[in-house]
């Protein structure tokens, strides 16, 4: 049981690394067999950057999944 009642679990399965590269703050997320990196935007907190990065990847994964399901359904109908 989680002590924080607002725990959403959006980052479950992800690990994050915050680092500087050439004077630019960056965040790297690793999980589910992939690694993605982006820079931390001006005025953005590290948590917001992590949320933006994982959210974008989740949208891409869902889109690919639904495209795959749609293609499988088309093959079974024909």
Task: State the pLDDT at residue 25.
Answer: 93
Residues 4-23: tens digit of each pLDDT: 455 556 667 888 899 999 99
What's the pLDDT score for residue 21? 94
Q: Which residues of the chain have pLDDT under 50?
A: 1, 4
pTM of the predicted protein model: 0.65
As a whole number of angstroms, the distance between CA 70 and CA 67 comes to 5
Helix, strand or coil, per DSSP, at residue 59: helix
Q: What is the pLDDT of residue 23?
A: 92
**Given this model, what pLDDT does residue 78 score?**
58
Could you please report the per-residue DSSP string of 2-25?
A: -S-TT---TTTT-EEEEEEETTEE
The rounded distance, in Å, linking the Cα atoms of 24 and 8 is 29
């Amino acid at each position: 049981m989680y002590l924080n009642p607002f725990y959403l679990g959006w980052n479950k399965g992800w690990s994050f690394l915050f680092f500087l590269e050439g004077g630019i703050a960056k965040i790297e997320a690793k999980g589910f067999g992939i690694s993605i990196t982006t820079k931390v935007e001006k005025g953005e907190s590290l948590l917001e950057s992590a949320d933006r990065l994982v959210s974008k990847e989740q949208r891409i994964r869902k889109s690919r999944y639904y495209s795959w399901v749609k293609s499988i359904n088309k093959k079974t109908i024909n």
